[in-house]
Chains A and B, each alone.
Chain A
Amino acid sequence: MKSAFLPVVTVVLAIIAFWYVAALPMNIHETLTAAENAGISVNGGDAKTRAAASGIVLALENAGLAAGGWSLDRPRLPAPHQVAAEFYETTIQEEVFGRRGFVQSGEFSKKSLIYHGGITLSATLLGFVIGTALGILLAVGIVHSRTMDMSVMPWAIVSQTIPIIAIAPMIIVVMYAAGIQGIIPKAVISAYLSFFPVVVGMVKGLRSPDQMQLDLLQTYNASKSQGFWKLRLPSSVPYLFASLKIGISASLVGAIVGELPTGAVAGLGARMLAGSYYGQTAQIWAALFAAAILAASLVGLISLIERRTLRRMGVQP
């Protein structure tokens, strides 16, 4: 752990530094327009010429003004501290000190990322549970039935070649027509993305016992179900956890994508969409970071359960 600290910090600092530098040419057009409006003379011609000019060239020509790009109201690329401020305001500030926040009103504020994250999280978890259960069932079927192996596996693979962004609106429209809305369609999209890694991992895991292990059970005249419960299932546990880690992050992506086409008013996806409608780039980035933190926590949680489970299964620490 300790040895990883320095490299990780170095990389994070490098990314932040790059981000600050990149924000200058990205925002230079708006910076110069604002400066001109304030009566400062700028290099690079009038607004029309500047619009066609490269951001890097403009930033170099107006080196003295470029730093203004770090404090614009509506930057193209918000600076890290602006995103951090937005994140703080829509989490701790809003919930702890805000009038509508959890501390003062007893429920989460509709303007806070915690509220939106919670909406997305519930759809993610429901979709993850459905996807995992479906994935395990399909894998068991595929391993035990050649017919299912031949018929289901190709469709499972095909299902993942369709871009989720294309199929998500259809799922939502079809389910809406059937009178189902709210968390379920999002969970279905989550499940659609997360069942696949579970199927692939579980099929591999259930098939992982070697011929000798299978022969051994045959010498005991063990039944197929004994072989499943005593050998195949325990053998598949490490594979299952590897799949679950991919599956839960896929679930989160699915839930967010499920919020995009519906014009949903709540959830991290809705937050990103609203941010892009109103040019609130800092809001988009803050929602992105919230999603990333959520995904990392979920994967971390599964890793923790994995370690506990494998230790209880006596695996060499």
Chain B
Amino acid sequence: MTDSVGGPIIAAQGLELVFQTGDGPVHALKDVNLNIAKGEFVSFIGPSGCGKTTFLRVVAGLETATGGTVSVNGMTPDQARQARAYGYVFQAAGLYPWRTIGGNIRLPLEIMGFSKSDQETRVKRTLDLVELSGFEKKYPWQLSGGMQQRASIARALAFDADILLMDEPFGALDEIVRDRLNEELLRLWARTEKTILFVTHSIPEAVYLSSRIVVMSPRPGRITDVIESPLPRDRPLDIRDSAEFIAIAHRVRQGLRAGHLDE
């Protein structure tokens, strides 16, 4: 779909995932085809059960597809996971309460065996990146929910993976904090040039952040629309009042509604 010099960094072809449950098989993903190029910001939006989180987990190697293929950096998701190709941000910050903010960011670095001095510079740098400098010695309970989530993003960035997988990272935060973090995330994306896959429930969030929006629908989980965003990369918050923005949001909403009418 998107052409780039090095080919897609994430490529899914005919991806299927069927969960066997007590109530019979559940088709979480059906025939998902998607290529994501390096440096893209792709949002996945859709109602609960549409498979957006499941797709992210398949890319992360946390779930295994039951059909089709998916490659990450040219490897299988499991190999990519073992090569530590991505950072994953969950809906809850999930910081360890017994570690300081710095200690939490150091966690993946310790596990991956970075040297002590390297750990220190990386902690400092990523804290700076998420605008939390000065909070290194604080414990998670001393931070607000928004700051905790920023720390968890720093934790995912610390080991410099090219891909950032974000599963509704701001879903539990209030609107005002969410707006600020959205702005910060865009700045961060511009500075780090990471490839970001971002799952969300929020139409404005998806449209504001993304270079591409993937609309999904449930039962079975599938892609119903893929929208290229014509918005410039540099986006102030008030771009959300522009006609272009409203037009894209409208198309997303239509895609979501169409998915529902299918049922």
**Interface set of A (CB-CB < 8 Å, partner B):** 212-213, 215-222, 226, 230-231, 234, 237, 313-316
Contact = CB atoms under 8 A, between A and B. Distances in A.
B111 A219 contact: no
Given A314-B99, A316-B139, A213 B111 contact: no
A221 B84 contact: yes
A212 B60 CA distance: 13
Nearest to A210: B94
B90 A212 contact: yes
Contacts of A218: 61-62, 81
A71 B86 CA distance: 81
B88 A230 contact: no
Q: Is the interface of A mostly helix, strand, loop or mixed?
A: helix
Given A217-B111, A219-B62, A316-B139, A212 B94 contact: yes
Contacts of A216: 88, 90, 94
A153 to B, nearest CB: 25
Contact of A230 (B92, B107, B112): B107
B98 A234 contact: yes
A220 B165 CA distance: 13
B19 interface: no
B87 interface: yes
A100 to B, nearest CB: 51
A314 B94 contact: no
Contacts of A234: 96, 98
A314 B138 CA distance: 9
A219 B96 CA distance: 16
A221 B82 contact: yes
A233 to B, nearest CB: 10
Nearest to A227: B111
Interface in B80-106: 81-82, 84, 86-88, 90, 92, 94, 96-100
B110 interface: yes
A230 B110 CA distance: 10
Contacts of B141: 314-316
Interface string B149-162: 00000000000000
A219 B88 contact: yes
Interface of B: 60-62, 81-82, 84, 86-88, 90, 92, 94, 96-100, 107-108, 110-112, 139, 141
A211 to B, nearest CB: 10
Given A230-B110, A313-B98, A314-B98, A220 B92 contact: no
Nearest to A219: B88
6 contacts: A216-B88, A218-B61, A221-B112, A230-B110, A313-B98, A314-B99
Nearest to A215: B62
A212 B82 contact: no
A313 B81 CA distance: 30
B81 A219 contact: yes
Given A212-B94, A216-B94, A230-B107, A221 B81 contact: yes
Contacts of A222: 111
A219 B87 contact: yes
Contacts of A231: 96
Contacts of A220: 84, 107-108, 111-112
Nearest to A222: B111
B111 A315 contact: no
Q: Sorted from nearest, which 9 A-B pairs have the closest CB atoms?
A: A313-B98, A314-B139, A316-B141, A219-B88, A222-B111, A220-B108, A220-B111, A221-B82, A234-B98
Contacts of A316: 97, 139, 141
Given A212-B92, A313-B98, A314-B100, A219 B86 contact: yes
B113 to A, nearest CB: 10
A230 B87 CA distance: 18
Contact of A226 (B84, B87, B94, B111): B111
A313 B112 CA distance: 23
Nearest to A315: B97
Residue among B60, B92, B100, B107 with the most chain A CB within 10 A? Answer: B107
Contacts of B100: 314
